[in-house]
Copies of this chain bind each other. A is one copy, B any other.
Amino acid sequence: MPCETFNLKEYLKKRRALIERALETYLPASNGIYATILKAMRYSLFAGGKRLRPILCLAAAEAVGGQKETALPVACALEMIHTYSLIHDDLPAMDDDDLRRGKPTNHKVFGEAIAILAGDGLLTEAFSLLSHSDSEQLGVNIKVPAERRLRVIHLIAQAAGYQGMVGGQVLDLECTGRDVDLETLSTLHQHKTGALIRAAVKSGAILGGGTEEQIEALDQYALQIGLAFQIKDDILDIEGSVEEMGKAPGGDIAQRKSTYPRLLGLEKAKEKLRECIKKAKEKLAPFGDKALPLKAIAEYIEKRRK
């Protein structure tokens, strides 16, 4: 089956629905004493994210021949961690954003104190979910060996912590308002967004029972698409249209942010993007048709218009 016949749109829609349902099960609303904090946590968790990280996690589990259900709680934990990072990044002390995906940011709705705590709560809940042992309560009928689960928790913690996302946000703060070179820009993105994307793919591969060789190949795939995603973002800021993106392009230029097109030139940046996608797809070759979704996602990252 060539990739063209794979219906990515339909696939993403179904996977998103699966993840929404699971998140709803793992973090249900409540009228009890936790009503306030749950409301704030759920506000951002269900604010219409693309669910890219959990989708990649499930797809990686299947690429190595595992069942997606094995990875479902971990996939949802990754989305909680991603959401926590957005809440904290939007805070007045950080990027001071009023809007996220067209909706008021968490602190705009609940105030700064609750927003900080909602982020803390989501981050902690992710680890609660990652270490949850009752597979029946999780609606998942597949047991994963405890050693494998510990490995996944550790790699996700490392990807989210000061050597990963948290470190990336610190680098971003340190780089704001000054010119940086290509190496620094790449280090920043690899920490801020790349690390969790890699952790999503890698943890899926581990949970699906992949060999070390398979895990390594998918990790390299994730490294390339993470980088590609950022380059494409930078290109869209130059070439995108308001209609398609839902926001005005040119923000990076106005803020004098260091971007790949600015450092490489637009054509070279596009070339690098194509190269990343090519490398990513090459890593999928040994997986055959099982990796069709991962292949289609890589192609989507190159072609997307928003």
Q: Chain B residues near A94: list those with CB within 8 A.
A: 113, 116
Q: Is A157 an interface residue (CB 8 A)?
A: yes
Q: Is A268 an interface residue (CB 8 A)?
A: no
Q: Is A38 an interface residue (CB 8 A)?
A: yes
Q: Chain B residues near A147: list those with CB within 8 A.
A: 133, 146
Which residues of chain A from 179 to 214 have a CB within 8 Å of any chain B CB?
A: 187
Q: Is A88 an interface residue (CB 8 A)?
A: yes
- A171 nearest CB neighbor, chain B only: B33
Find A154's partner among B128, B167, B171 (CB 8 Å cutoff). Answer: B128
CA A149 – CA B147 in complex, angstroms?
A: 10
The reply to whether A167 and B37 form a contact with Cβ atoms under 8 Å apart is yes
The reply to whether B162 and A125 form a contact with Cβ atoms under 8 Å apart is yes
The reply to whether A93 and B120 form a contact with Cβ atoms under 8 Å apart is no
Q: How large is the interface on A (under 10, 10 to 19, 20 to 34, 35 or more residues)?
A: 35 or more
Which residues of chain A from 155 to 182 have a CB within 8 Å of any chain B CB?
A: 157-158, 160-163, 166-167, 169-171, 173-174
Which residues of chain A from 67 to 94 have a CB within 8 Å of any chain B CB?
A: 84, 88, 91, 93-94
CB of A159, distance to nearest CB on chain B (Å): 9
Q: Chain B residues near A91: list those with CB within 8 A.
A: 113, 116
Known: A153-B131, A154-B132, A154-B133. A170 touches B93 (CB 8 A): no
For the complex with contacts A94-B113, A114-B173, A121-B162, 16 further pairs of A-B residues with Cβ separation under 8 Å are A36-B174, A37-B166, A88-B116, A93-B116, A114-B170, A116-B116, A117-B166, A119-B120, A123-B124, A125-B157, A125-B162, A128-B154, A128-B158, A131-B150, A133-B147, A146-B149
20 A/B residue pairs, CB under 8 Å, sorted by A: A88-B116, A91-B113, A91-B116, A116-B116, A117-B166, A119-B120, A120-B120, A120-B166, A121-B162, A121-B166, A124-B161, A125-B161, A127-B157, A128-B161, A131-B150, A131-B153, A133-B150, A146-B147, A146-B150, A150-B150
